[in-house]
Structure 1
Amino acid sequence: MIFSILLLLLFSLQFTMIKIRTPKSQRAKRAIEKRAPKLVETGRKTLILQGTKTSSTLNEVLTEIYHLKKENAVRYTRKNENIRPFESGGETSLEFFSLKTDCSLVVFGSHSKKRPNNLVIGRTYDHHIYDLVEVGVENFKSLESFTYDKKQAPHAGSKPFIAFIGEGFENVEELKHLKEMLLELLRGEVVENLNLAGVDRAYVCTAVSSNRVFFTHCALRLKKSGSIVPKMELVEVGPSMDLVFRRHRLPNDGLRKIAMKTAKDQAKKKEKNVSKDAVEGKVGKIYIPEQKVGATALPNKAKGVKRERREAKMKNSGNDSASKKPKTSSE
């Protein structure tokens, strides 16, 4: 009992020391600013770690999840004691590792007689556990167990399609929560525009029953269809597994209220001399300084003056010749 209390005090002391640390160089300052909250979030990092006891199947599952999210994931291979996410005080180590690695998603694997091949997926807010979902892994097939043309393998870091098939994802509360977790885990960074040529993978989640979901990973092949939109074919490349829902923990109302706060829209910078009209749209005013025409220096126009005189002289000579009447002889 005394040992556990000392351990908790140690973790809280480490948490406090990291929290109040001030930057002493520009590099450290940039690193802290990178971790600061943002109005538009970038892709979330995932922390993958394991408990005191694991199985070979669960180790393969954690390793392949890490390979699927290699660019945005941190993998701890050492055994970690006293991590019990669903017990009070058992999530302290997870929160400490989340703060240390700047990860907002946690995947924790453990194995016991009561809960074999146990996988816990959790989200954090401000590096505190927000919510958790616990599933059991069954019928696991690794990447190496699938045979296919290696040229069709998805590229690392490509944007995936995610398909959820089954009414359970809309009707069953537990599967709704699991759907949210899988979306956060697999989607990566949210983008507005997408190049279809770069989409080469798909995650397919099928609700087999009210507590079982079949998960598989497929490669996308684009084929000619005779139109602008290509024909797509799915090639299963693995891994695949059955996720059996066991238990979950929803966020408490206080933490949910804080996490759901949205930042106020920043006031747009005022444009000078610009107004908007319902009919004309955007209207701008242009101010021109007073022009003093009399004081403006004129260029030398001697050549032009000579030409004007010459033209005027020719015009006058033509008029004079036209006005003269021919002499008539009288007999």
Structure 2
Amino acid sequence: MQRIVKPKTQRGRRALEKKEPKIFENSKNALMFKGGNTSQTVTQILKDWHTLKKPNATLFTKKNATKPFEDQSSVEFFASKADTSLFMFGSHSKKRPNNIVIGRLFDGQVLDMVEFGVSKFTSLRDFKTLKTASGIKPCVVISGEFFEDSDDNRRIKNLLIDFFRGPTVEKISLSGLEHVISITATNGKFYLRSYRILMKKSGSKVPRVELEAMGPSLDLVLRRTHLASDDLFKRALKKPATAKPKKKKNISRDDLGNRLGRIHMKTQEFDKLQVRKVKGLKKRKNDVETDVTETATKKQRTQTVEAT
């Protein structure tokens, strides 16, 4: 039976409410942790990506004897403890040296996982250039025919975008774009590069854009995958009805983007319609007397008709 946690303090109650599912979810946080045996390369990879994904990242420095592909309960426990839905796990062994696992969770359970082997790595500190500020949303560039060959490869592409895309924002300022993450896949190998955007003078209003290698730089080899079933993945993509925008009736747009609407109104009585009072439209005494005489003659005519 699943144990129901009841808060004992107000602080504990707020912490549990923060972890509860919401109609509009918060930005996804990532957990970086390592296994029982790691190498210096794996440790530095976790530190570098934790630095780039701040403040939406948590780093566990202690070693944890866990194997995600054999036992997923430990991964789910650590993710629940840190309140994260993305994770990056690093390990090192003779059979799988310099091993990196990137995955995500749904409803507290592991949804997708992909295991990579690091064949080449250049750290963030090895690039003697300026770095971008923390908390900046990066531009993610995915290229390569590998991602369109099969449904599993498209799922890997979706996972990588979900992990590296950063927080969800409504508007983007062009001057605030400083970071580019490029992922290229060919022949089962993945080339992950990180660049800093430089905007230089071009003699016009539009600046000249250049990319400067900032690091980290990784060459990865695909090893194992653990992808959710189609039904579970479809369930994870489902949005509540309250989160969907309500459709506005009788409103459309033309080819030029102009907004057109249809308004339904009741029949108006123009005699009782309140308009702007103008001196020229006011009735004079002579006009009032003529109106009175006209109404009197009309009444006499109706009486004579009835009498006949």
- Does the alignment reach a TM-score above 0.5? yes
1:156-200 deviation line (CA, Å, top 9, x unaligned): 111111111222222255543332222111111122210111111
Counterpart selection for 2:177 from 199, 211, 232: 199
Q: Does 1:80 align with 2:61?
A: no
Structure 1 unmatched ranges of 5 or more: 1-12, 270-274, 286-331
% identity of equivalent residues? 40
Change (3 A) 1:240 1:206: same
Match of 2:163, SS?
helix
Distance 2:238 2:163 in 1: 22
Change (3 A) 1:115 1:284: farther
Counterpart for residue 137 of structure 1 = 118
Displacement of 1:128 after TM fit?
Answer: 0.6
Displacement of 1:30 after TM fit?
Answer: 2.9
Question: Are the equivalent residues in 1 in contact too, given 2:120–2:220 (CA < 8 A)?
Answer: no
Counterpart for residue 30 of structure 2 = 46
Counterpart selection for 1:260 from 195, 215, 237: 237
Counterpart for residue 207 of structure 2 = 230
Displacement of 1:130 after TM fit?
Answer: 0.7
Displacement of 1:28 after TM fit?
Answer: 3.1
Question: Are the equivalent residues in 2 in contact too, given 1:175–1:210 (CA < 8 A)?
Answer: no
Question: Are the equivalent residues in 2 in contact too, given 1:175–1:211 (CA < 8 A)?
Answer: no
Distance 1:277 1:145 in 2: 56
Question: Are the equivalent residues in 2 in contact too, given 1:276–1:283 (CA < 8 A)?
Answer: no
* TM-score of the superposed pair, with normalisation by structure 1: 0.71
Range that drifts further, 229-238 or 30-39: 30-39
Structure 2 unmatched ranges of 5 or more: 253-259, 267-308
Question: Are the equivalent residues in 2 in contact too, given 1:51–1:108 (CA < 8 A)?
Answer: yes
Match of 2:224, SS?
strand
Counterpart selection for 1:67 from 43, 51, 72: 51
Letter in 1 for 2:188: N
Letter in 2 for 1:105: L
Counterpart for residue 216 of structure 1 = 193
Letter in 2 for 1:143: L
Change (3 A) 1:94 1:280: closer
Matched residues, number = 263
Matches within 5 A, 1:160-309: 160-171=138-149, 173=151, 175-207=153-185, 209-265=186-242, 281-282=262-263
| CA RMSD, Structure 1 to Structure 2 (Å) | 3.1
Match of 2:193, SS?
strand
Change (3 A) 1:22 1:164: same
Displacement of 1:52 after TM fit?
Answer: 0.9
Letter in 1 for 2:61: T
Distance 2:243 2:136 in 1: 33
Question: Are the equivalent residues in 1 in contact too, given 2:99–2:116 (CA < 8 A)?
Answer: yes
Counterpart for residue 10 of structure 1 = none
Distance 1:280 1:84 in 2: 59
Larger-Rg structure: 1
Displacement of 1:92 after TM fit?
Answer: 0.9
1:270-309 deviation line (CA, Å, top 9, x unaligned): xxxxx96998635689xxxxxxxxxxxxxxxxxxxxxxxx
